[in-house]
Structure 1
Amino acid sequence: MRTCRRALTVLALTLPLAAMGAVPVVDDNSGSAGSSYPPSGYGTAGAYAGGAATAAPSAQGQLFMQLQQMQDEISRLRGIVEVQQNDIQQMKQEALDRYKDLDSRIGAGGAPAAPAANNSASDGGVNAGGAPVAPAAGAAAQAPQTSSEPGDPAKEKLYYDAAFDLIKAKDFDKASQAFSAFLRKYPNSQYAGNAQYWLGEVNLAKGDLQGAGQAFAKVSQLYPKHAKVPDSLYKLADVERRLGHTDKVKGILQQVVAQYPGTSAAQLAQRDLQRL
């Protein structure tokens, strides 16, 4: 009996000690170098998540920069397109103005102006640059070639009218060829001054500024007394302006105003001089 009581007493004393040994011991030095909190598994996942969060803004930044570069390039290309569209529109407007001007001149009549008593270049004129040509030298260098055929006014008129009809038909390539052929065949014809002027007009309508300038300049060089000289000089100034030779434009316009007062070409030249 005593043995049982002693055993119960020992058991009662040891149970609390066993329970205390089962409770985990918490180390209060969690901030020490030897501690690891949070657990290693959680720490690894957290490091991975932190790395992803750091990399994401970098990728987004690169994408933003690429988009910004694309927008800048698109803006630059749009600017180029707008400039080209403006240039094309200006060219179309100039071409339309040339056609309207040509139509008005055609409407005025293609019949040649009254020929001067002397169509030679004895009085001189201006060259393509607007500089006066000395009478003697100009006559020697720019005199029309002698026709290989005897003069036949009726035949010359048929030839001239055929070339002029090509202008009315807006066939400027063939008209240019026809007037050039006419001038080679009948350089001394009463229609030659007009043919030389209209050669400049059709070349201008074609957009051949160099050919137009040469043709207009030859009117005053080869036919200085012809009624088309003021108009040809004014058109020559317009060609030089289109070519960008602004230094020559003013001199030609001043010559038209000074030498051919009262003409429509002089009035237009005076207006253009005021705009310069």
Structure 2
Amino acid sequence: MIKSHRLILAACFSCMLPFGAFSEVPIVDDSENFALLEDQQEVLEQPIARQQADFPENDEESPLAYDEPEAASNTASNRDNAALLDKIQNLQQEVQELRGQLEVQAHDLKLLQEQQLAFYKDLDSRLHNNSPVQTAKKDITIDKPEPVKKTTSINNPTPVPDRVPASVSGNAIHANPADEQISYLAAYELIKNKKYDEATNAMQTYISQYPQSGYAANAQYWLGELYMLKKDYPKAIEHFEAVLQQFPSSSKSAASLLKIGYALAASGKNNEAKQRLQQVIKNYPDTNTAQLATTKLRSLDI
């Protein structure tokens, strides 16, 4: 019995040991750790809050960025736009004038080529057919031994050779465009070299020598341009009018009419200038000259 009681007590004591072990396990309180984490979070949150305070959202700052008066900004932009528009119009006018000059020079070059070709053809025909002057001389020498000289002393054949070569040489000069071409190109070269006084004299000499030549209209036009440079507007108008009256089908007609409008406007005769410019637009529509006339009309209306 005693042994049995001991065994029972020992068994009970062994069963109670685990409960004792479990009761001695320490209880961990994480509240302090949470408190530290919260403090650290507050410390970390403070710089972020400061950064947010230092850098507010862009939506709140945008009105401050445009704090200038709206009227002042509109006025400045309008001035800039007006200045830019004036520059563009001036550039367009310069481009149109350059195009007109290119067209004129292209026409002049074509005319020179045609006349040069005609000159070479005439020269070639003379070389193949022997010169007309030589044939005339041969004909004259043939006419000398006529029996009329023996029978009658009234008809003297000696003046005949003197008159015939004179007429032949005169026709040869008029048929040969080389002199006209050389004289005109020499005068035009003076214009390109800006020797305006010499060019004026050369063009006037050319017109007096070759009033009906193929370059007469060009010479009259360039005389008008030269007098425009000298601001002698009445003489400029006189030469431009000569192109319109004497050479109405010339390529210089449109430019001459336009320059008459320019000269009248420069002389203060705006009403007459407007009439001439309107004639340019009417007579030469859809051309660069008409565009220049339109631009000039707008400037006169301002």
Query: TM-score normalized by structure 2?
Result: 0.43
- Would you tell me which structure has more helix in proportion to its own residues? 2
Query: TM-score normalized by structure 1?
Result: 0.47
Q: Taking CA–CA contacts closer than 8 Å with sequence separation of 6 or more, which of the two structures ends up with the larger relative contact order?
A: 1
Greater Cα radius of gyration, structure 1 or 2:
2
